[in-house]
Amino acid sequence: MTSDPVRLGVVGLGRAFALTAPAFAAHPGVRLVAAAAPRAESRRAFETAFSGRTFESVEALCADSDVEAVYVTTPHGMHRDHAIAAARAGKHVLLEKPIAVELDDAEAIVAACESAGVRLIVGPSHSFDAPVEQAAKLIRSGELGRVRMVQALNCTDFLYRPRRPEELRTELGGGVIFSQGVHQVDIVRLLCGGLATSVFARTGAWDPERPTEGAYAALIDFAGGVFASLTYSGYGRFDSDGWQGGVDELGRDKDPGLYGAARRALGAADDETALKAARSFTSMAETPAASHHEHFGPIIAFCEKGDIHLTPDGIEIFGDERRETRPAPFRTARAEVADALVAAVRGGASPLQTGRWGLASLEVCHAMLESAESGRPAALRRQIGVPS
């Protein structure tokens, strides 16, 4: 593997790339060889960090015959064009979540990758976090009997991190449902077997200055009678990381002095778009060093013979008379995503998070909005199960 690393190109060198770059840089099976980005300073930062080639356009990147796979990390609304351009050029695709905003766009991406015969992985998503996979494996093993119910909660400052204007407009994929709900849905679908049958949801858009969904609660039914309850608030007050050992979503020990920092920074900024751009990839030194796994808030899977709590370091099992901790070995944050890319490109093995999986999770997000609007449960018809 180390003698033949996957030659990866990147489209978009913003926040998402800044968060994922350390995993690729540290992984012996991946080499970052090229990138496309409109901003000259981003291109220079990539060249300096990785000695890679850079281009101003996606088309030029896709014409680079040395690039085997493309990581699409542009805004949601560009995913369709950029993923399809890569697939048509014969590149495997790692596509940021959500797969797209509109279901039609997601279907077009899946179809383009299938007809080009290239792999499509949707991620990074928190369903790649090692403790999630560890809990899913334990459930599949049957050691605790069947899973009956899952509870997922996450409270963050998502809505007050700097945003591009479209990130505050639901119809363009803004708000917490598309950017955050899709993580929670991915995790819960993995733990509950994947085949969601209906969703009943309420959403909250409580800040008139940022008039998109900042919160939701959803009850999801799954095949086999399993059900899951999902709650999310991005309003930056109650902080559920305190229930995860004080570890933040990116796997870092959280400084309690930073409480309220997102709101303060936003309040002090003249230009929110510029503040957002300042969080783009600038160098490897800027990227956060994690010492725990990433996580998406406290999640508990209730099984017939015990409950599983997912932590930033592994899982805790609560049996009838005994409580047990099982650690998940940590390498770097997002190492599992790099593993999945290498396995898909070199080994031909698909991870769970394929295009069809991402499409199914996106369908649940739309169903949450639909149910909140109609006041009734919304049915689902694009769901796929977790392969045994």
Does 76 interact with ligand NAD (rule: CB under 6 A)?
A: yes
Instruction: Name the β-bridge partners of 155.
Output: 233
Strand order in the sheet with 196-204: 323-327, 314-318, 306-311, 299-303, 147-155, 227-233, 215-222, 196-204, 378-379
Does 13 interact with ligand NAD (rule: CB under 6 A)?
A: yes
Are the C-beta atoms of residues 94 and 16 closer than 8 Å to each other?
A: no
Task: Please give the residues from 159 up to 188 whose contact with ligand NAD meets the rule CB under 6 A.
Answer: 164, 179
- The nearest distance, CB 148 to ligand NAD, in angstroms, is 30
Task: Please give the residues from 117 up to 146 whose contact with ligand NAD meets the rule CB under 6 A.
Answer: 124
Angle between helices 103-116 and 79-88 (to 10 degrees): 10
State which of residues 5, 9, 12, 355 lies at the interface with ligand NAD (CB under 6 A).
12
- The nearest distance, CB 370 to ligand NAD, in angstroms, is 21
Nearer to ligand NAD, 164 or 331 (CB): 164
DSSP 281-302: ---GGGSPPPSS----S-EEEE
3-class DSSP assignment, residue 216: strand
Nearer to ligand NAD, 226 or 359 (CB): 359
- The nearest distance, CB 178 to ligand NAD, in angstroms, is 7
CB-count exposure of residue 256 (10 Å: 0-12, 13-18, 19+): exposed
In 345-378, which positions are buried (b, 16+ CB within 10 angstroms) versus exposed (e)?
Answer: beeeebbbbbbbbbbbbbbbbbbbbebbeeeebb
Rounded CA gap, 49 and 295, in Å? 27
For the CA atoms of the chain, what is the radius of gyration? 20
DSSP 2-18: TTS-EEEEEE--SHHHH
- The nearest distance, CB 307 to ligand NAD, in angstroms, is 28
Does 218 interact with ligand NAD (rule: CB under 6 A)?
A: no
Rounded CA gap, 100 and 85, in Å? 15
Nearer to ligand NAD, 213 or 221 (CB): 213
Cβ neighbours of 151 (radius 10 Å):
16
Does 233 interact with ligand NAD (rule: CB under 6 A)?
A: no
Piece in contact with ligand NAD (CB under 6 A), picked from 34-42, 84-92, 114-122, 315-323:
34-42
State which of residues 33, 34, 36, 85 lies at the interface with ligand NAD (CB under 6 A).
36
Does 16 interact with ligand NAD (rule: CB under 6 A)?
A: yes
- The nearest distance, CB 7 to ligand NAD, in angstroms, is 18
Size of the site for ligand NAD (CB under 6 A): 25
State which of residues 73, 170, 311, 371 lies at the interface with ligand NAD (CB under 6 A).
73
Does 280 interact with ligand NAD (rule: CB under 6 A)?
A: yes
State which of residues 39, 146, 202, 264 lies at the interface with ligand NAD (CB under 6 A).
39
State which of residues 25, 29, 47, 75 lies at the interface with ligand NAD (CB under 6 A).
75
State which of residues 1, 28, 38, 271 lies at the interface with ligand NAD (CB under 6 A).
38
Parallel, antiparallel or unpaired: strands 147-155 and 120-122: unpaired
Rounded CA gap, 219 and 367, in Å? 11
Q: Tell me the residue number closest to ligand NAD, measured at CB.
A: 14
Interface residues toward ligand NAD, by CB under 6 A:
11-16, 19, 36-39, 42, 58, 73-76, 78, 96-97, 124, 164, 179, 276, 280
